[in-house]
A = this chain, B = another copy of it.
Amino acid sequence: MSELRRDPIIGRWVFVETDESSWHPQDYEVAKRHINQAAVCQLCPGKEAQTPPEVAAVRNNGSPENSPNWLVRVVPNKFPALKIEGELEKRGEGIYDLSNGIGAHEVLIETPDHNLTNLADFKVEDIVNVIKLYQNRSLGLAKDKRFKYIMIFKNYGESAGASVEHAHSQIIALPMVPKYVLEALEGYTNYYSFRGRCVYCDMVEQEGQQKERIVAENESFISFCPYVPRYPFECWILPKEHASEFRLLSDDDTQYLARILKETLYRIKAALGDPSYNFYIHVAPVNCGGPKNYHWHIEILPQLTRVAGFEWGTGFYIIKTSPAVAASHLRKVDFNF
């Protein structure tokens, strides 16, 4: 039977199965439909001319821009959802509001190796390079005052919506703060007004005490299955100390972040049979008057089930593996890197 749980940030209620019939990793059907695109891949080294010119890269030996011999490379999306030129112009159409689609949409190519598709299998130092370019582009795009939010996210595998096989993340700069971020900020602020504490700091503390939902932990970060997930085996990575700035991590913390990201993704891969996943980084908005204080974090959503009519109509989620059971499966994975 299930338990109804309410998350303390935005008030989402979720059904969580808590009895012994709870689903185990083998009960989920992992869709495997990886198309081999190596022959036609435009993100591989040597195909630099087939992408728009790069906006940033980590390169070996100072090799020139748009040549091969890069480690990580960021290029504008060839088919962007938003256009970078122009000013934001809002207007109405009867009862509806609209504006032109100003923004930026970039693709971060995570590795030159086409066959190294999952970040879980990267060396820690290569993930460090990916994180450094996330930060570089976040800082770079935030200089454009038209942009109010820089969203970094990754879709791995077809079930997670990836249409390109070569390992990549995406960066979208938006002209307004997105709804879910506004809700999280509002929840953060309400909790702070009421209790005088950060809700994410309180989560770190409670998870650290209860321990049963912890997936991995190191000096600076904790990874756990949140008490009120939307997906089975959902994992969050939080800085253990309150921190609003993902973009300005110390070199040590960048190392620790790369390690815990690898460990969490590796545990998901090994426990669940290499499922598709999404992750995104929630940070504070930029260039606007809103709250600048936030507790940045990463939310990872393995794609094991389908969101269906009930979830679409209500915003409730039905979770067949409780976070504590999920975390115990993830902890069982042998991880020695």
Contact = CB atoms under 8 A, between A and B. Distances in A.
B160 A82 contact: no
A273 interface: no
Interface centre among A12, A151, A313 (most CB of B within 10 A): A313
Interface string A224-263: 0001101000000000000000000000000000000000
A178 interface: yes
A145 interface: no
B161 A97 contact: no
B180 A278 contact: no
Contacts of A299: 312-313
Nearest to A1: B83
Nearest to A280: B313
A301 interface: yes
Interface centre among A5, A179, A199, A210 (most CB of B within 10 A): A179
A8 interface: yes
A56 interface: no
A87 to B, nearest CB: 13
Contact of A314 (B4, B5, B179, B314): B179
B161 A308 contact: yes
Nearest to A162: B308
A4 B175 contact: yes
Contacts of A312: 153, 180, 230, 278, 280, 299, 301
9 contacts: A2-B83, A4-B98, A4-B175, A11-B179, A94-B206, A155-B309, A183-B315, A281-B313, A301-B312
A13 B176 contact: yes
Given A15-B101, A306-B159, A309-B154, A199 B95 contact: yes
Given A153-B308, A179-B314, 19 more contacts: A2-B101, A4-B98, A4-B101, A5-B96, A6-B96, A8-B97, A13-B176, A81-B318, A95-B202, A153-B312, A153-B313, A158-B306, A159-B306, A161-B306, A162-B308, A178-B314, A180-B315, A181-B315, A307-B307
